[in-house]
Amino acid sequence: MPNRVRVRNLAGFAVLGFVLMLGWALYKLLDLQSEISTDVGENMVWAISQSIYQSTQLAHVARVAPVTPESQAEHDLHLDLLKSSVQMLNQGPQLRYMQRSGVDKDIQQILARLEQVPIAYTEITRALRMVSNSVMLAEREDAGLRRDANRHLIFQVIATVVGILLAGALLCWQMLMSLRMATRAKEELQIQHVQTQRLLEVLQQERLVRLRYRDFVSLMSHQLRTPLAVIDSTAQRLKRQLSEPVSEVSLEERSQRIRSSVNHLNHLIGRVLEGLRLDEGVSSSESERRLELQVHDWGRLVASALERFGDLLNERPVRLNWPEGTTGLQVECDQTWTIEILCNLISNAHKYSPPGRAIEITMSLREEVFECVVRDHGCGVEEAEAELIFERFYRAGNNPNVVGIGLGLPIARTLAEWHGGTLTVVNAADGGAMFTLTLPQNKHCSKAE
């Protein structure tokens, strides 16, 4: 790159130098043209020729005899013209030219002879012819010098123009090379841009994978707490009743509750191991591979979800509202993840409902979409927070005393979207929040009479 810069600068200085030389040569050509247009040598030759002509006329008039007034007048006229012509040669630029030609003394002698009486016209004519010959030789010599100078200037102009053309060609070559380098640099930038875009896409993919695994770990850590809480509460009740007589039915019921929670934990761990073996991508088809879609009785799914809460909901009624004329619905879904959705929605309603107020679960089936609405009787959801509560770790600001970490609702929506469904929230007219779960259904799903 520095060498190209030096070459470019050198070519620029060369062009500048050649342009100056061309300007100087053109100036000299104009000066030479001016000299040619005002050629003193040719003027001198013409003036001397006029003097010779007047001298010849005087010699002819002098031979005429007898002298008459007319001949004398003609003689005086030609003499005056001769003196004027010779005096003009002895003044100004003519005198300088005569001095360069070396005939200035001859001109002075001719002037002196014109003042003598009688006038020797023959000698004056001979002297003027000698001066004319000398001036003609000097004029030819000057013309040769001018031709040489003109030739030299022409060669200089040609050399300057050729130099300018070469320097311009060098600059054009340099410009073409610069354009080629710029084009190559642009192509390299485009390639780097494409590579950068690919790298950003890969980084974004890695970020999405990392976020999915983080969400998955959050899901597992959050959902594992429910069965552990059931086991813990059941074990504590058994511990408190050790000092009291316990019926065999009560003991069997509590043991069965512990075993159900343990089985649920084992099932969750198995699903985690299965998910880790799958190649997790961002497409919905890969999410569908993690679902075990089967037709289940929705009432049993709700009962399973309520059973996980154990004694936590003993003092809170839960009302199930089925479509008119039915006692249940057959719904296509993944049993494990659907129960997790219901657990999160019921847990959220339990947290935000006043003590003793019922949790209402309303089911409906419209065309090929199943809806389940879980309603609480709490303070509802602010309109500005209707979507924010589905973001991870976001907590509603209208009830800061409620215990939680802000993962239940985001996990529930994620599981609903895995099914191809939705999870939304609106406020009831008479207070409380209504969370609506929608799941797409096939035609074979039906109502139970």
pLDDT in tens, 41-52: 556 667 777 777
- pLDDT value of residue 8: 64
CATH 3.30.565.10 is the classification of domain 287-448: yes
pLDDT in tens, 101-126: 787 787 778 777 777 777 777 777 78
Phi first, then psi: give them for residue 435, nearest 5 degrees.
-95, 120
Nearest C-alpha neighbor of 404 from the set 243, 199, 226, 189: 226
Question: What are the mean pLDDT values of the chain's consecutive 10-residue runs (449 residues total)?
Answer: 63 70 71 60 67 71 68 76 76 76 79 76 79 79 78 79 77 82 90 92 82 65 66 68 62 69 65 49 47 89 86 81 82 90 90 87 88 91 85 70 71 89 91 92 62
- pLDDT value of residue 158: 81
Q: How far is CA 257 from the centre of its chain?
A: 65
In this structure, how many other beta carbons lie within 10 angstroms of the beta carbon of residue 24?
Answer: 14
Task: Give the separation between CA 99 and CA 281, rounded to whole angstroms.
Answer: 109
Instruction: For domain 2-177, give its CATH number from 1.20.120, 2.30.30, 1.10.3470, 1.10.10.
Output: 1.20.120
Q: Is the backbone of residue 144 left (phi > 0), alpha (psi -120 to 50) or beta?
A: alpha
CB 326 within 8 A of CB 333: no
C-alpha separations of 212 from 200, 271, 309, 342, 416 in Å: 18, 15, 28, 22, 15
Q: E-assigned strands of 282-421? A: 293-297, 318-321, 328-334, 359-366, 369-375
Domain ranges of the chain: 2-177, 287-448
Look at the chain and count its residues: 449
Using the Cα atoms of residue 16, residue 18, residue 22 and residue 24 in order, give the sign of their dihedral. positive
Phi first, then psi: give them for residue 425, nearest 5 degrees.
-140, 140
Task: Give the separation between CA 337 and CA 405, rounded to whole angstroms.
Answer: 20
- pLDDT value of residue 373: 95
